[in-house]
Structure formats: C-alpha cells, structure tokens
Amino acid sequence: MNPMQTAHGSGRMALLTGWLLLTAAAILYSRQKQIPAAAAIPIAIAFLVEYSFYLLPGIDDWRGRLASLRPLHRGLFYLGSGILPYLVYAIPSGQFTWIALGGLTLLCAAISFWYLVSRPLPDVLFLILLVAIVLSRVTRYIYASPIPKLPIDVLGNVMFMRLAILVMLVERRPRGIGFGFIPTRSEFRVGILYFFFLLPVCFTLAWALGILRFPMRQPGWSALAVLAGMFWVVALSEEFFFRGILQQWAGRMTRSRALGLVLTSALFGLCHLWFGKFPNWRMALVAGAAGLFYGLAFQKAGGIRASMVSHALTATAFRVLFS
C-alpha cells in the first residue's frame, strides 16, 4: 500500500472517530447540564472545528502539505485556524463582539507570523508570549459564555496551545521532541514505569503538604474521560513546551542534561503557583517534584510521548482518586 494513502487514511479515520466521540460527549453533557440547543449546537460545532485543526500537528502528511505553502499563505492559514472556532460559536450564540475579535486576531497574528518576519524574533520571547496568554487568562474575556458557569474559555486555551505547537513544528522544526498522539509500546512502558517511580515521592509529599485528603474516592467511568483529556490536551501541550523545548534548551545552554532537567522541573513547578489561589506553593513543590520524573521519562524514551503517559496518569490520579 502507498504510504501516502496510509497517512491519508489514518488521518481521516482519526478525524471521523474524534467527531463521533466529541458529538456523543456534547450530547450527553448538554443534556446533563440542561444547555439549550441554541447554545449547545454552535459550541459543539466550534469544538469539532478546533479538533480538526488540533489533529494537524500530529499527522506528518498534513503538516508537510502545510509546510509546502508559501510563508504568507502559511501565516494566513495559522491566523484563520485560530479565529474560525471563535466565529463558529460566538456569532450564532450571540456572544460575538468586535473587541473580542480584535484582541483574538492580534494574539493569533503574533503567534502566526512570529517566525515569518524577515528576521525571526527570539524563541524565548515567543514562549514568554504564550505564558502571558495563559497566566493572564485572557481567554475568559474573549470567549464569553452564553450559559453561566459553562467554561467556553477552554476552547481558546486549547486553540492557543495547538496554534503555537503547529507554528513551532512547521517553522522551527525542533529536533528530539518525538511529537505524536499515540505512544509506542516502549513509550507506554517507560511512562508507566516512571509514574510508579514518582508515586511514593510525589503523593507522600502531597499528603504531607495537605493537598491530598483521604479516604480515596471511588473512580467512575468519568475517569476515562479525565485521562483522555489529561493525555491529549494537558500533558501533550505541557510536555511539548517543558520537556520537548525547554529541557533540551536548558541542557544545551548549561551543557548538562542533569542541570537542564532540574532547571526545567523547577520552572514547571513555579508555573503551578497560579493553580487555584496564587501563590500556591504547595502545588508548585509537588509539580516540580513530578516534573523531575516526567523529564527522566522524556530522556529515557527520547520523546515526549513517554512523559505524557507519566504526566497524564499522575494528574488523573490526583483529580479522580483524591479530593
């Protein structure tokens, strides 16, 4: 079979499967929360649109086609892919504002054209821009919700991380990341192994700091949904930037893999100061300790998919099993 046809087929299968699962999840969620169809339908379609773009960084053939476009066309594609999900949900649901669209356009344009100017701006400033977007929680103001307590800003957070990953993979082509959605057997084994290594350290530390509350909860079927979200959204984006990008940078700059691991883990922990009520030092300490094991899994397997497994299992256990 032609490898190109195989790539096309796997991409289409992933696209169709994701659409079906997300549609089913949207129906169940909207019924459970009693969300009116006028709000639920455009929101669901917006997530389906974003999912379509979300797949693009992980499918080599699709990413290669994008890379073959002219720089200006690539930039316009990036920009359009960032704005379109917002328009799909905001206009039909009555949440559209020109101010929100303007702010979103400026941020997406900055990310989209960062590496396409005549002299590319420094990588570190690119990452600082992403950190500012996340920590400022600007998506809460752009992605207004038609239903109280319905977190539509999740759509914006996912979009910004996907857009940044796509731009870096196509324009910068960093090495040694091992980006992908499905780990190999070897990567699974490494990820699970380092998850068990971190258990006695991180969970004991979390208990000693008062983060965990016993007795343990009884996990239900929702645990699978939490694990999927942690793996393909949270762990994927965080491991890409922290282990795939920053840990390698730090290792090269200090000429020490061990020091690069420690520095990146410390920075990973500090970013969790904003988890809940700032400054959350207890969570920062636990996250920093966990980051050491994620980084070791990354080094052992030579790619982020192993550290994604460790990360997702740890985050799911904290959320599902403990209060």
Concatenated DSSP letters of 15-63:
HHHHHHHHHHHHHHHHHHHT--HHHHHHHHHHHHHHHHHHHGGG-HHHH
Between 46-55, 156-165, 201-210, the lowest mean confidence (pLDDT) is in: 201-210
302 belongs to a structural domain: yes
Residues 95-126 have pLDDT tens digits of 999 999 999 999 999 999 999 987 777 899 99
Domain count, the chain: 2
Q: Which residues contact 24 (CB under 8 A, 6 or more apart)?
A: none
Identify the three-state secondary structure at position 149.
coil
Pick the last residue of a domain from 142, 172, 202.
172
Output the six-digit token pair for 231. Answer: 């793996």
The structure tokens 């929101």 sit at: 43
Residues 64-76 have pLDDT tens digits of 999 999 999 999 9
Average pLDDT over residues 291-315: 97
Q: Is the pLDDT score of 231 beyond 70?
A: yes
Verify that 76 and 194 share a domain, yes or no.
no
Residues 8-30 have pLDDT tens digits of 567 889 999 999 999 999 999 89
Average pLDDT over residues 80-105: 97
Pick the last residue of a domain from 151, 172, 193.
172
Verify that 145 and 204 share a domain, yes or no.
no
204 belongs to a structural domain: yes
Verify that 33 and 154 share a domain, yes or no.
yes
Verify that 156 and 100 share a domain, yes or no.
yes
Pick the last residue of a domain from 150, 172, 194.
172
84 vs 49: CA distance, rounded Å? 8
Verify that 197 and 81 share a domain, yes or no.
no
Between 3-12, 14-23, 167-176, the lowest mean confidence (pLDDT) is in: 3-12
Compare 258 and 9 and report the one with higher pLDDT.
258
Nearest-10 crossing angle of helices 71-93, 153-167:
170
Of the candidates 84, 253, 70, the residue with the CA atom closest to the CA atom of residue 162: 84
Output the six-digit token pair for 160. Answer: 């910004």
180 belongs to a structural domain: no
Q: Is the pLDDT score of 289 beyond 80?
A: yes
178 belongs to a structural domain: no
Q: Is the pLDDT score of 3 beyond 80?
A: no
Average pLDDT over residues 58-84: 96
151: left (phi over 0), alpha (psi -120 to 50) or beta: beta
- pLDDT at res. 210: 87
Verify that 78 and 125 share a domain, yes or no.
yes
The structure tokens 């979009």 sit at: 159
Confirm if 95 and 155 have CB atoms less than 8 A apart: no
Give the range of the structural domain holding residue 249, as residue numbers without chain letter.
Answer: 185-321
Verify that 62 and 204 share a domain, yes or no.
no
Q: Is the pLDDT score of 6 beyond 60?
A: no
Confirm if 312 and 234 have CB atoms less than 8 A apart: yes
Verify that 34 and 151 share a domain, yes or no.
yes
Verify that 234 and 119 share a domain, yes or no.
no
